Amino acid sequence: MRFRAEIIKIEHPTRGDDTRAWGPPFAEYSQTLRKEGPGESAYFLSSLQVNRNKKSLALSFATSSGQRLLHQLACKCDILVENFLPQSLSKYGLDYTSLSQLNPSLIYASITGYGQYGPASSRAGYDVMVEGEFGLMHVTGPRDGPPVKVGVAVTDLTAGLYTANAVMAALIQRGKDGKGQHIDVALSDVQVATLTNIASSALVDPKSNPRRWGTAHPSIVPYQAFKTTDGDILIGGGNDRLFGILCERLGKPELAKDEQFNVNSRRVKNRELLEKLIQEETSKKTTGEWLEVFKGSGLPYAPVNDIQATLQHPHVQARGLVEEVQHLECGPLKMVTPPVKYSSSQASIRSAPPVLGQHTDEILREILEISEYEVAQLRTKGVIS
């Protein structure tokens, strides 16, 4: 069994998805096409947007004809996902209230910065703004440095994952009562929820205000990156037993018996001294040498790799996380594959991210059963491209 959801991406007929212009870098057009322009943006091609396995319908819903087409599609589809400001689609008749009257079984998911209600709901929300406003940047960055954003749009990603889970739950419910529903996902809500233990600490102790720890952990020591002669290595002494293993492998078994460090609470209290002692040892060898020292010990450890080293990592290759696909205009492209493995199903890259309007004719003819003449008329009027 394979996942076979047919996903239709509605794009502006001339400029398309905003992320098509977010570059460089761009994947260059194939030389055989002799097409002008920089190519397809790596951002649009990325798994963040999950544009693989999608079909592109280039359509303007600012026109009454475009609205009618989307109404027809909504009647034939199971799920609609949108990320416009609350109420902004109502003037086109594309809000949940309007479409649910046409298709009561429609599951309609709205992803916004601040949700469908609340004092901030009318504001545009981007990942970095939400990271800053809702606590993530406060706990991200060097201990004594300024707050920083996470290197990827993590709040966007987690919002998407929460939405996917919510849609699956709504599908199960619809299977019981036949009714669709409106799913309200706010990046701000998701960011607060994913503070997890940090939020819990602040709620348990209202006088506390968790701080930045760099790669370290506020409640576990040692649990961070240490410098080597040629890079960094992460070490996780998550309990007293693992700390003992670390001390043995560092050649400092006496540290495990030292009353300043023999239990985690004391290691937390005396973290600066312990970190200094460990750093003195790790700085004597290369990262590769320490990987060999820790190998087979049961101690959690890992090198800190850059992105190229990550993509070429033997484990990444063995897990099949990079796959080559054929793009319509750029030729062969390497992409990151779906990360979850199934025993009797297969998640795969069936098609490369689409070029703008690649499937417009196919969708209108095969799903909406519109004639070639009508499609041509819509294109002439600028409703589609």
* Residues marked as catalytic: 156
Q: Please report how the helices 240-250 and 271-282 are oriented relative to each other, as an axis angle in degrees rounded to 10.
A: 40
Distance (Å, whole) CA 263 – CA 257: 9
Give the list of residues 6+ apart from residue 273 with CB closer than 8 angstroms, or none.
Answer: 260
Distance (Å, whole) CA 155 – CA 258: 42
DSSP line for 47-115: TTTT-TTEEEEEB-TTSHHHHHHHHHHHHH-SEEEE-PPTTTTGGGT-SHHHHHHH-TT-EEEEEESS-
Cα angle 269-273-277, degrees, rounded to a multiple of 5: 135
The answer to whether the beta carbons of residues 359 and 333 sit under 8 Å apart is no
52 residue type, one letter: R
Distance (Å, whole) CA 168 – CA 174: 10
Tell me which residue has tokens 């600490």: 201
DSSP line for 309-369: HHHT-HHHHHTT-EEEEEETTTEEEEEEPP----SS-B----SPPPPTTTTHHHHHHHTS-
**What does R_g of the chain's alpha carbons equal in angstroms?**
26
How far, in Å, are 48, 64, 221 from residue 134 at the CA level?
21, 39, 27
The answer to whether the beta carbons of residues 37 and 31 sit under 8 Å apart is no
